[in-house]
Chains A and B, each alone.
Chain A
Amino acid sequence: MYQQAAWVISVVFILFVIFVFLYVVAHSGQRAEYEPIQKKGYRIRNVWFLVVIAAMGLATFYTLRDLPFERPAHAADPTVVQVEARQFGFVLSRNEFRVGEPIAFQVTSVDVNHGVGIYDENMELLAQTQAMPKYTNTMYYTFEKPGTYQVLCLEYCGIGHHVMTATITVVPSQEGEGK
């Protein structure tokens, strides 16, 4: 969802910017007095400033309510899974889960920096955190669909970076049904 939102917002804005720049190019040929243009321009700029500030304020308000490093309310007693990254593989203390089971992935590394990214069967990135030596990052995630998920390394860690994967299996919350 967030990937789609980022894409749509970026494309719409870039098209808007292209339009504005082309408009100015199209109206750059005939010279006019600069002072009236400046006066009008500053008025437009003030409105533009307010629009940008309002958009940023709204985006900040809504997005900061959903911080991925905060434990979600429904995950009061999550299943704790230790994830240890090393050149070039992952060791998970458990890799089979049920749909709807809140999980706290406690991620660390025994050598260099790695990343832990969880991908669904369509290869869409669902969640990630960094795996760091000497530190443990806790990533909360609850699988919503049964299936086979992949864990990919998302921080460059050396020659075997791209072979650093693991598999997670998610089964229905009760045998024979998905959530």
Chain B
Amino acid sequence: MEANVRKMTALYMFVSGIAILLMMVLGLLMLLAQGKMIPLGQDTFYEMMTAHGTFMVGAAAFAASAVMWYFLRQYVRLSFPIFVTHFVLFLTGAVMTAISIFVFRFAGAWTFLYPLPAMSAGMWGKTGASLYLIGMLLIGVSFLLLYLDTSRAIIREYGSLGHGLGWPQILGKVKGYGPPPTVVASTMVSIVNLVSLTVGASVLVMSLINLFQPSIEMDPLLAKNLIYAFGHIFANSVIYMGVIVVYEILPKYTNRPWKSYKIFLIAWNMSTLFTIIVYPHHLLMDFVMPKWMLIIGQVFSYLNGLPVLVVTAFGALMIVYRSGIEWDMASSFIFLSMFGWVAGVIPAIADATIVINHVMHNTKWVPGHFHMYMGVGAVSMLFGFMYYFIRGNERKIGYADMVSFWVYTVFFLSLCGTFLLSGKVSAPRRWAVHFPEWVPYDRMGAVFAVVIIAAVTVFLYRFFVSVIIVQAKQNIEVGPRA
């Protein structure tokens, strides 16, 4: 069984890694097109943009869910058949969405803002739109199954999801530490994603109905709320799943404990609540929204920064400080990921400020901050896990990997810098053709992207080769090593 778990986890990571690499290539092509360095038709650009947004978040979430599953099973009894079903359903949905984009030319962006799927101005037809929406629905169902199983297992072991979040310890009914950090994080992710996926499924189904029966309409503002509630929560959950690898690995590398003390539990409860309710910061320029929702969109977005700024990142710094930690690829990526998370918070908080959002919403400032959060933060957690996973093969990991790590770090930060600079000079996001004022930033970004892709190729090559070697030797260890 243990061998199957490792095989399946490796498969998850490999598929996600390849998808992330391919989406990076699409990102590079889009930058080259915006920088007028290659001719790319506007229709092709918007198809690539749709694929990039959908599969980057999808693949990162897919890999992060495997990381969560891999570690959570140490504490609760999870269903392996559900883990496999999640894999199969996700891939089926992903193939459908890929066909909708690259064969049937659907280019409604990952946001599929109602009623755009049904009103393409001749760019795509009903087949493309319905394949995309059904594909997304299948992907959503695959995740829903997984989170239902994690919720079931946590409730069975700890009594309730509230117990999983450490409510008895917070309320003082039980003394001592709460459940292990991995369980707390998994409970939070299960709760927020059960909400997000249900909301996402609702709006996907309503969009499908409207597609085939246009007389059945939806309120566009309601649809927008549902889409951003789903998208915001789901995309954010990637880093909350990924941080589990930080909780699991850093204590082992530093030989110091990371316990669920009261402040830690309060922080995770805050994150649970705020992650669900801060999504109105995506609708700050929809002035017809109730004023109180726009204001909480700002205020709660600020507060949502507290758990990571004050608790999680601080905990990571403290556990590493004077610890005698061994710096290898896994621990380096894990530490980098915490930096990426924190660094990405500030431009995000700036953008959630209504007066700033008024002149920066839907500019390239937005991809600037979430690429930092996702690329340097969440994806580094995944690479960290991959290197941890192949640790039996240290002699193969060497100079090329460490150089690639630093290259990835420096150039990814630089890429984010070009996005933020583009936002500062008001370049809109999601424009296939850029005005001359914005082109220099695109060209710089394209150069940085080439180098990043080379570094990621090294990471994935190392993972693939190491997994194959270990497999060939049948040298499969039992459980995550302490």
Binding site for B on A (CB under 8 A): 2-7, 9-10, 13-14, 17-18, 20-21, 24-25, 27-32, 34, 37-38, 41, 45, 48-49, 52-53, 56, 59-60, 63-64, 66-69, 87-88, 111-113, 115, 117, 119, 123-130, 132-139, 152-163
Contact = CB atoms under 8 A, between A and B. Distances in A.
Contacts, number: 229
A59 B298 CA distance: 10
Nearest to B118: A112
B323 A9 contact: no
B314 A45 contact: yes
Given A25-B327, A52-B305, A112-B113, 7 more contacts: A10-B350, A24-B320, A48-B310, A117-B428, A132-B286, A158-B108, A159-B46
B115 A48 contact: no
Nearest to B291: A69
B288 A119 contact: no
A70 B423 CA distance: 25
A113 B323 contact: no
B177 to A, nearest CB: 14
A50 B170 CA distance: 21
Contact of B426 (A37, A60, A124, A163): A124
B426 A68 contact: no
B429 to A, nearest CB: 8
Interface of B: 42-43, 46, 49, 107-109, 111, 113, 115-116, 119-123, 219-221, 224, 256, 283, 285-288, 291, 294-295, 298-299, 302-303, 305-306, 309-310, 314, 317-325, 327, 335, 338-339, 342-343, 346-347, 350-351, 353-356, 358-363, 365, 420-421, 423-426, 428, 430-433, 435, 437
B426 A162 contact: no
Contacts of B420: 7, 10
Given A161-B431, A161-B432, A162-B432, A30 B360 contact: no
Contacts of A153: 428
B123 A2 contact: no
Contacts of A63: 298, 353-356
B121 A87 contact: yes
Contacts of A66: 355
Q: Determine which residue in B108, B288, B319 has the highest number of CB atoms from chain A within 10 A of its CB, and name it.
A: B288
A153 to B, nearest CB: 8
B426 A113 contact: no
A134 B358 contact: no
A134 B347 CA distance: 33
A3 B420 CA distance: 10
Given A3-B426, A112-B113, A137-B287, A37 B322 contact: yes
A18 B220 contact: no
Contacts of B428: 117, 152-154
Contacts of A152: 428
B109 A135 contact: no
Nearest to A44: B314
Contacts of A45: 310, 314
Nearest to A36: B322
16 contacts: A13-B346, A28-B322, A28-B327, A29-B325, A34-B323, A41-B317, A45-B314, A49-B310, A56-B305, A68-B287, A112-B115, A123-B426, A132-B220, A137-B287, A154-B362, A156-B116
Nearest to B301: A56
Contact of A87 (B119, B303, B324, B358): B119
A138 B342 CA distance: 36
Contacts of A128: 285, 358-359, 361-362
Contacts of B295: 64
Contact of A132 (B221, B346, B426, B437): B221
Contacts of B321: 24, 27-28, 37, 41
A21 B119 contact: no
Given A137-B287, A159-B42, A2 B360 contact: yes
Nearest to A115: B362
Nearest to A5: B356
A154 B339 CA distance: 31
B425 A138 contact: no
A161 B299 CA distance: 32
Q: What are the 10 closest A-B residue pairs judged by CB atoms, nearest first?
A: A31-B324, A125-B426, A69-B287, A32-B322, A6-B350, A137-B287, A41-B318, A156-B430, A162-B431, A13-B346
